[in-house]
Amino acid sequence: MFMALDISTTLKSILNRISGKEARHHTPEKKIRPVEKRNRGEAERKSKNPAEEKGRHTKFSELDLPSHILASIEKVGYEKLTPIQEATYSIIMAGRDLCALAETGSGKTAACSIPLVQKINISKNTIQGLVIVPTRELCLQYVDEIEKIGAGAGVVSFAVFGGFSKEIQTAKINHGVHILVATPGRLIDLMYDGVISLSNVTCVTLDEADELLQEGFLEDIEFILSCILNEHQTLLFAATMDDDISKLSHNYLHDPEYISLIRERVAPVSIEHYFNYLHPGRKETELAQYLAAEDINQAIIFCNARHKVDKLFRDMRKKHTAIEYIHAGLSQNKRSSIFRQFKTKKLRYLIATDVAGRGLDFTNVSHVINWDLPFDGAQYTHRTGRSGRMGKKGRAFTFVTRHDLPKLRELIRTQKITPRWVGKDPLKGTKTLSKEKTTPKKRAYRHSGKKKAGTIHRDKSTR
């Protein structure tokens, strides 16, 4: 089949890479604009967000959409474009490269999927759209959105990711797929096996682009992009992107548009950020009290390591029934099942590592709890962004121990968070760490923030 060309190209590409010949970018003739100029363009565009200028959001019925796609969108329940959808739609439709930044929960999946579905020529039985995402769960979620929007138009989409039968994936791809959503590892596997050809891909999307352009994924992404030799457009979507990754992203884009709807404030604005400073030994008690006192629809409790997830789950399941845990140590079947149960609200609590930290859309999550302080600001933003989706209010609750204080200061500064303290504010009036006590005194359980006083009951328990 068409595989022969792809594999020889692939091998050539590997040899070139080994000999250091291959350029980083995927189109050899591509010109890279100097960073300064690009940045200026970026700033200009920021102030020209069409959605803000108009002051109202366009309805999908006002776009020139094919009727079956409009019908599908209305069936999903979308009436108006979200700001990021409004800002990117015409750029994507025009075939331009794009780097789009917008808050978590702002509708980036549909921002890509709606124009992408329109670009598919269903009379061609080939992969024309490729979406790359960092996790298996995101694969499923993404393909679900594309299916909802594109099924009426006859667009066939499919997700490939590791931990699932290659034979089944191969059979489905051989049967014909228009839009492939994939994690990098399995995609490369199937390319090597000659199952996947990218020679008809006209639109490539990297979702959670900042994650995909980081060490660990970067080589795979470069390899995949280097295998797409025909003319195509590249779209990057992200909720966070530091300067280094932003500069790096230029290597993969050709004369791109930059859209950033991320305001000065980095952490999601629809979320109230609560912190609790305590001795690590008190976490369990404080968590139990917090959960009992809050009005929780669904909550995700993030830990920084798998063994912590396991332990917390063992402890919490004694008191809670609708609770599960998820981390990369579980089989893919189990992960998918838990993911589905949580999404369909059959579970109330999910204890998780960061496999559930990015991109997953759990609209009913009212609370995100950080059992451990996240490693950095981006991780905090992604975790807490699992709540407060689509303008809903969310609440983040983060445990902080003495050891975390330097990182916490940095987090508050870089993410421009206004912290509300449950109990003592350890940053108030403490200039030096050595003066901070390891074990906080016994104290009333209360918010130090003014709003919502009384939402949490007083702690009468002692240890």
Contact residues toward Mg ion (CB under 5 A) are 108, 359
Bin 276: left if φ > 0, else alpha if -120 < ψ < 50, else beta. Answer: beta
User: Of the candidates 208, 240, 216, which has an alpha carbon nearest to the alpha carbon of residue 137?
Assistant: 208
- The pair of three-digit structure tokens given for residue 387, joined into one six-digit string: 């709540």
Comparison of 105 and 129: residue with beta carbon closer to ligand ADP: 105
The least distance separating Mg ion from the CB of residue 109, rounded to whole angstroms, comes to 5
Non-local (6+) Cβ contacts of 196 within 8 A are 6, 127, 160, 173, 180, 187, 190
Q: Which residues pair with 131 in a beta bridge?
A: 181, 205
The least distance separating ligand ADP from the CB of residue 102, rounded to whole angstroms, comes to 6
- Binds ligand ADP (CB under 6 A): choice among 81, 127, 201, 204: 81
Other CB atoms within 10 A of residue 384 CB: 30
Is residue 108 part of the contact set for ligand ADP (CB under 6 A)? Answer: yes
Cα separation of 34 and 323, whole Å? 51
The least distance separating ligand ADP from the CB of residue 390, rounded to whole angstroms, comes to 4
Cα separation of 220 and 211, whole Å? 12
Comparison of 359 and 426: residue with beta carbon closer to Mg ion: 359
Is residue 110 part of the contact set for ligand ADP (CB under 6 A)? Answer: yes
Is residue 104 part of the contact set for ligand ADP (CB under 6 A)? Answer: yes
Is there a contact between 355 and 331 (Cβ–Cβ < 8 Å)? no
Binding mask 84-103 for ligand ADP (x = CB under 6 A): -x----------------x-
Instruction: Considering only the C-alpha atoms of the chain, give the largest distance between any 2 of them, rounded to a whole number of Å.
Output: 72
Is residue 389 part of the contact set for ligand ADP (CB under 6 A)? Answer: yes
Is there a contact between 110 and 84 (Cβ–Cβ < 8 Å)? no
Cα separation of 402 and 436, whole Å? 7
Binding mask 354-383 for ligand ADP (x = CB under 6 A): -----x-x-x--------------------
Comparison of 13 and 88: residue with beta carbon closer to ligand ADP: 88
- Binds ligand ADP (CB under 6 A): choice among 105, 129, 152, 419: 105
Report which DSSP code applies to 162.
T
Cα separation of 343 and 338, whole Å? 8
Comparison of 39 and 270: residue with beta carbon closer to ligand ADP: 270
Cα separation of 47 and 352, whole Å? 38
The least distance separating ligand ADP from the CB of residue 128, rounded to whole angstroms, comes to 21
Cα separation of 327 and 324, whole Å? 11
- Binds ligand ADP (CB under 6 A): choice among 6, 25, 78, 272: 78
Is residue 390 part of the contact set for ligand ADP (CB under 6 A)? Answer: yes
The least distance separating ligand ADP from the CB of residue 246, rounded to whole angstroms, comes to 18
**Cα distance from N-terminal residue to C-terminal residue, the chain:** 70
Is residue 256 part of the contact set for ligand ADP (CB under 6 A)? Answer: no
- The pair of three-digit structure tokens given for residue 202, joined into one six-digit string: 């006209």
The least distance separating ligand ADP from the CB of residue 155, rounded to whole angstroms, comes to 18
Question: Residues 206 to 225: which contact ligand ADP by CB under 6 A?
Answer: none
Comparison of 359 and 374: residue with beta carbon closer to ligand ADP: 359
Is residue 109 part of the contact set for ligand ADP (CB under 6 A)? Answer: yes
Determine which helix (DSSP H) or strand (DSSP E) holds 397, and give its type and residue range. Answer: strand 394-400
Comparison of 22 and 86: residue with beta carbon closer to Mg ion: 86
Query: How many residues can be counted in the chain?
Result: 463
- Footprint on this chain of ligand ADP (rule: CB under 6 A): 78, 80-82, 85, 102, 104-110, 359, 361, 363, 389-390
